[in-house]
A and B are shown apart, each in its own frame.
Chain A
């Protein structure tokens, strides 16, 4: 799956897209592959505050739980309700329909600290080499 050029990425495999001060946050295709079939997603409530680097939710597969770390600080304005009924969307469309939360950014500069697509692709390519080494 291609990694959208307009997204920013973290080393914990979250992506973030910013428009008009609102950031949409999700996990990457690489992350969903590592997790396997997702069975449950736990997201914060609207109005919750998230902080950079702090866990704001979890994604569960049958035998693993992954924390999701906030790539930026802000206030949650929407959580993706479809994931409650259809967590498998994360496996099929991680960069689109399976966005996790939308956040009103507290600090617009947060986004610029993240990797761009080239850096992220290089980062996961390195990871792949580690795994087969």
Chain B
């Protein structure tokens, strides 16, 4: 009989004797898979998917509650707040006894300095545009003075540009602008940033002095987030028990998880929507009738079915449902090929007979799925669509270059920076500007601009009137059709039944709050 080398025998014995590594269900660590990479750890500069982590490390003055909640906001680092009668100042009363991760105590100075930094360099600095000054009234009271009325409660609850940061960290960052990038967290949130491996892993550890406390049993002491870009791989990891949660699962797996008794499937309304900008600088899309014809040709239900596996609703303009100032009064198109053909004929393009170049982000599987559906529908009215997948970076560069040379149709996934899609979605995507930001239709309409500008100013003091103005603006927008408004994307999460406390908040896209998630009894 052949004798195995002794090393091989040793290893075999060792492997046979060893038990499994980590108990799947203990409060030691919540293991998560996420696609969210980190563009920056700087709480002021943050403007991308790192919000998943920052929302657990930092806190704002207040949180916005999901639509339908009893109160629109709940206290965070501020326990109460009020606006002056004229809407030109807001006062926030801070929570006592809050510690930063570095041991410093929360006070008005920390709030003032944080907001001033966000205003100066923030990726989302524009949300603070109405602010004239931030003042420490006393050690635990902050007043925000405005140049014009604005909804500071919405602004201060933003996912971007509203985190309150330790003063010591702000000092360090002032001396070294790359201070945070090594993986430094300096907030008051329930979790500290323990370790960061770029594009691989983020490890969060419980902050023992968190003001919210850890008395409730079942809280996780640590959160280990694996950055995994592939949804199918995330699914495999979840099914194999390698992770407890996967934050991005393939849409095609929804039915399987919904039928699996080991998982609770949470179907949610998200603030993400899909828009198709039409290049209004070039014929034939410079003709409103052609744009309306295309709007009538789009098969909205099919796009939702194919692109989002039915999880979504047709948009009413660019403001997503559940986010101010969405309104069901805003009109929307339904597919009507006869009407589309009629409009084309009126525009001098009977039977279509032209080609449009459509670009979408190659990384986006939903756009990849529904772009051909749209192309087929336009083919029915004689418009040929050449679909061109590009990396988002490249698609963006193309659109930002000369509009005359850019694409005809730009598919975009959008979401508001904070829970005011009037000053964000409507302004960013369609307000006139010399250098377009997100206005990739390159559309200009002074009446729309005026309505939006006026509504922005009224949102802080007379939200009802502002809402009405927004509806008027969106009605013009839909009628002139500088863009196609496909769908408000739904989402879903499959949470193992041994976990409880998961809740999605539409106001915080990308963010998953780990603190409330606990092992079920």
Q: Do A and B bind each other?
A: no
Residues of A within 8 A of B (CB): none
